[in-house]
Amino acid sequence: MPELIADIAVFAPLKQLFSYQVAASLHGSIRRGQGVRVPFGRRKIIGIVVALKPGADESLKQVAELLDETPLFDEELLDLCCWSADYYRYPVGLALRTALPAGVTSAVPRVAILKDYLYRPTAQTTLPKGRKQREILDFIRTNGEASLSQLREVFSAPHTVLDRLLEQGCLDRCQVEKLRDPFLADPVTADEPLPLTEEQQTAFNRLKQALNACSFAPFLLQGVTGSGKTEVYLQAIAEVLQAGRQGLVLVPEIALTPQLVGRFRARFEKTGHRIAVLHSGLSDGERFDAWRQISRGDINIVIGARSAVFAPLQKPGLIIVDEEHEASYKQGEGFRYNARDLALLRGQKAACPVLLGSATPSLGSAFRCAAGQMEKLELTRRAHAGDLPQVELVDLTGQPPEQFVSERLQQEIEKTLQLRKQVLLLLNRRGFSPFLLCADCGQTFRCPNCEITLTYHQKSHLLRCHYCDYTDAPPECCPKCTGHQLEPEGFGTERLEQEIATLFPQARIARMDRDTTGRKGAHQRLVNQMLEGKIDILVGTQMVAKGHDFPNVALVGVLASDAVLNLPDFRAAERAFSLLTQVAGRAGRAGGGLVLIQTYSPEHYALQCAVAQDFSTFYEQEILFRQELGYPPAGYLANLVFSGIGESKVWRAAESLGDSLNSSGTSVEVLGPSPCPLARLRGKSRVQILLKAPKRAQLKYLLKYAEQFKVPAGVSLSVDVDPLDMF
C-alpha cells in the first residue's frame, strides 16, 4: 500500500494547512473530513483531514490518532466549509470548528453522552417470590421493555429488586444512549394541510417541479405578511420527505424558532418524522445530541438559526431561508459568514432547490431576480382573503418632544382597547432612557470601555453599556458640578411601558425586549400570553415585528421611526422600509387593522413606500442610489478593522496598510483609514478601511494582497467580507 500524506486544518488561528505523514496502521481508516489529533509544537491539537495524497516525507510528523472512525464532515459539507473560509478570509480550521457543536472535538469531552439501562424479560416462566419483584416483572412484560429511569418513576428506587431479577435470570439488561429532548414539555396538537390559494398553489407547483428534478434551483418567495408562506414551506417539505430526503429550515432569530417548530411538529410528528432544532438557546447537551442524531441520519427536518446551515444532513432535498432579508443571518464576530448566502451554495453542492422567503426581500435577492439569477414566486394577497392593514404616517413636527405618544396614537389605543382587541407598540431602543443628563451642567455618563453613553435601566437602577455590558449605579449627584438634577433623557421600551401604564391604567401591559426575554422560554411565554389574550398592549423592540401571528392585534404603533431611518449607513432606508412593513404586517392578521407610524420625515420615500406596502417602487428608487454609488448589490464591499489598546499605534498600522493598498494598482476604491462609527469598543481603539469594488474578483485579489501585511504587536486586524454592519 502506498504511503499517505494528510493535509490537516488545525483548530488554531492559522490560514494554511499542515501536512502530516499517515502511519501504515491508519491507512485503511483515515478519510477526508475525519477528526484527528496531531503533534503541533510541544503539544497535540485537534484538526480535520482536508486532503489525502500519496507520498512519503521523513521530515513530517505523524498523525497521532483518529478521534472517531466516522468522519465529522462528509465531502459536501467539508467543501462548503473550506470554500466559505477562503471567501470570508478566515482560518479554515476555526471555520470547521464553528460548524461543530461543543464537545464533539474536545480533548476532554465538555458534553457527556447520557446513558440509561434498558430491561427486557427473558423466556424464563418461573415467577419470583417477592411481591415487588412480580410487580416490576409484570410491568416490563406488559410493556415489552422498560428503562431504569422509567422504572424509577413508577416504582421509586427498585435497584436491589432489579439486581435480584437479573440474578434469577428473569431479566436481561443492556445500556442504551439517552437523548436530551428540548420538546419534552411542549406537546402539540396534530394538524392537517390547509387548502392552498391560487397563488400558493402556483408557487407550490413550481417548487414541486424543481424538487422532482433533484437539481439546484434558487427561488425567492415574496409574499405579503399573512399570505401563507409557511403553509407553502410545510407542503414543500412534505414532498421532500415523501421522496426520502431531508429538509433544512433556517430562521433569523432564536425567538422565532419555537413558533415555527410548533407548526412543523404539528404537521409531521404524527407521521413519524423527526425534527431537530439547532440554535444557541439550547444547552450544550441538547445541541450535542441533536447534532449526533442528524449526523446518523435519524432526523428528517432540521430547524435552526444561522449555524444550522452547517447541519450534517446526508440527503438534503430542500433548504428554506425564512425572512431572508434579516441581517442576523450574518455572523458579526469571528467567522463572519452569511448563512443565507451559504444556504444557496449548499443547495448548489447538494443539488437541491433553495427557497428564500420574505415579505420584504433584501435588495440583493431582488437584484438577483431582476438579473435572472433567481426565480421569483409571488403571493400578493393574504391567505384568508382579508384586507391588508391601513397604514398612516403621524407627522410629529410641531409636537412637544416630551409628548412621546402622539394624541392620535393615544386615541386609537383607547378605541382598540374598548373593542377588546390588542395593541403592539414598537420602539427599537431598550432600557428606560438612552442617557442620564445633569440639567445643571450638561454632564452625561459614558462607558469607560466604549465610545457611547450608558443607557439608564430604571427597574434594575443601573447604567448599562449595550455593547460591552459594563454596568454602574447612577450617582446621587453629578460628579462634575455636584448638582442633583440628574434627569433621564429620551425614551426606551422600559420608559414607554411606564408611560403607557400611566395613560391606560386598566390595560394589561407587557414588554418584549432582550431584558425581559433573556431567560430560556421567556419569549415563548410572552407569545403564549398574547395568543391567550392575557396581554392588551405589548411594548417591544424589533422582536415584536418578526414573524409572529397574533390574530387579535388590531393596532400597531411605531415610535421613533426616524432613529432607524437616519442611521449613518447606506442600508438605512432599506432597513427602515423592511422593519416598518414587517411590523405593519402584525396588524389585522384576520383582516384589516390600523398601523400608525410616528415620524418627523413623512415625505421620505422609504416611509411612503412602507405606507403603501409597495416593495417594487421602493426597490426601483433604492437600486438607482446603490448603482450610482457602487454599493451592494451593484458592487462589493469588504471592511478591514484595526483595533488595539494604543490609539496612535492602531492609526499608524491602518495608515501603513492604506498607503500600501492605494499603491497596489487595482481599480478597487480604498476608503479610509477613518475612525469606526464606534471609535472605541470594549477598551480598544478602532479604525477601519473600506474596500469597494465593481467586481468580486478584484476585491478578492486585494484582500489576498492585504493578508501579506504584517500587523504590529498589540494591534489586531479583522476582515469582514460583504459587511452588513459597519459600526
> Which pLDDT score, from 0 to 100, does residue 590 have?
62
Domain count within the chain: 6
> Which pLDDT score, from 0 to 100, does residue 348 have?
95
Mean pLDDT by 10 residues, the chain (727 residues): 88 93 89 93 92 90 88 94 96 94 64 74 78 85 83 78 85 79 69 92 96 95 90 96 96 80 89 87 79 90 94 95 94 94 96 96 96 95 76 88 87 94 92 89 90 89 90 90 87 92 94 84 84 93 79 91 86 93 79 87 93 93 94 95 93 94 87 91 93 93 90 93 88
Q: Does residue 415 lie in a domain region? A: yes
The pTM score is: 0.88
Domain boundary among 475, 502, 526: 475
> Which pLDDT score, from 0 to 100, does residue 485 have?
87
Q: Does residue 480 lie in a domain region? A: no
Question: d(Cα 434, Cα 490) in Å, to the nearest integer?
Answer: 6
- Site of grid cell 440628574: 486
The pairing of strands 422-426 and 553-558 is parallel
Question: d(Cα 616, Cα 437) in Å, to the nearest integer?
Answer: 44
Q: Does residue 645 lie in a domain region? A: yes
Which one-letter amino acid corresponds to residue 318? L
* Of the candidates 564, 603, 601, 600, the residue with the CA atom closest to the CA atom of residue 582: 564
CB atoms under 10 Å from CB of 698, counted, come to 15
Whether residue 37 sits in one domain with residue 131 = no
Question: d(Cα 571, Cα 579) in Å, to the nearest integer?
Answer: 12
CB 22 within 8 Å of CB 6 = yes
Whether residue 688 sits in one domain with residue 597 = no
| CATH number, position 675 | 3.30.70.600
Whether residue 283 sits in one domain with residue 212 = yes
CB 453 within 8 Å of CB 678 = no
Query: Residue 426: which domain range?
Result: 390-433+490-625
Q: Does residue 327 lie in a domain region? A: yes
Domain boundary among 336, 353, 379: 379
Whether residue 397 sits in one domain with residue 364 = no
Whether residue 373 sits in one domain with residue 277 = yes
State the burial class of residue 185 (Cβ atoms within 10 Å of its Cβ: 0-12, 13-18, 19+).
exposed
Run of H or E including 468: none
| CATH number, position 23 | 3.40.1440.60
Q: Does residue 697 lie in a domain region? A: yes
Whether residue 169 sits in one domain with residue 45 = no
Question: d(Cα 490, Cα 429) in Å, to the nearest integer?
Answer: 10
- Runs of H (alpha helix) within 214-361: 229-242, 257-268, 284-295, 339-350
Tell me the CB-side half-sphere exposure of residue 349, using CA atoms within 13 A. Answer: 21
**Angle between the N-to-C axes of helices 615-629 and 572-584, in degrees from 0 to 180, rounded to the nearest 10:** 170
Question: d(Cα 554, Cα 161) in Å, to the nearest integer?
Answer: 62
Q: Does residue 78 lie in a domain region? A: yes
Whether residue 205 sits in one domain with residue 172 = no
State the burial class of residue 363 (Cβ atoms within 10 Å of its Cβ: 0-12, 13-18, 19+).
buried
- Evaluate the omega torsion of the peptide bond into residue 723 and state whether it is cis, within 30 degrees of 0: no
Return the bridge partners of 304, or none: 250, 278
Q: What is the DSSP letter of 156?
A: S
Whether residue 350 sits in one domain with residue 217 = yes
Question: d(Cα 195, Cα 628) in Å, to the nearest integer?
Answer: 45
CB 230 within 8 Å of CB 263 = yes
Distances (CA, A) of 288 to 111, 182, 285, 612, 706: 7, 12, 5, 46, 37
- Site of grid cell 428503562: 147
Distances (CA, A) of 476 to 434, 452, 462: 18, 21, 12
CB 356 within 8 Å of CB 321 = yes
Q: How many helices (H) and strands (E) does the chain have?
A: 20, 30
Return the bridge partners of 537, or none: 423, 509
Whether residue 621 sits in one domain with residue 502 = yes
Whether residue 643 sits in one domain with residue 598 = no
Q: Which long-range contacts (CB under 8 A, 24 or more apart) does 661-669 make?
A: 661/689, 661/691, 661/702, 661/705, 661/706, 664/702, 664/705, 666/693, 666/698, 666/701, 666/702, 667/693, 667/694, 667/698, 668/692, 668/693, 668/698, 668/699, 668/702, 669/630, 669/693
Q: What is the 3-state secondary structure (H, E, C) of 240-280?
A: HHHCCCEEEEECCCHHHHHHHHHHHHHHHHHHCCCEEEECC
Q: Does residue 726 lie in a domain region? A: no
CB atoms under 10 Å from CB of 59, counted, come to 6
Q: What is the 3-state secondary structure (H, E, C) of 560-624?
A: CHHHHHCCCCCCHHHHHHHHHHHHHCCCCCCCCCEEEEEECCCCCHHHHHHHHCCHHHHHHHHHH
Whether residue 329 sits in one domain with residue 394 = no
Burial 526-547 (b: 16+ CB within 10 A, else e): bbeebbeeebbbbbbbbbbbbb
* Of the candidates 476, 489, 498, the residue with the CA atom closest to the CA atom of residue 436: 489
Phi and psi torsions of 476, nearest 5°: -70, -30
SS3 state at 138: helix
Cell of 528: 403564549
Q: Does residue 339 lie in a domain region? A: yes
Whether residue 544 sits in one domain with residue 464 = no
Domain boundary among 98, 127, 142: 98
> Which pLDDT score, from 0 to 100, does residue 216 have?
96
CB 551 within 8 Å of CB 524 = no
| CATH number, position 227 | 3.40.50.300
- The gap from C-alpha 153 to its chain's centroid, in whole angstroms, comes to 38
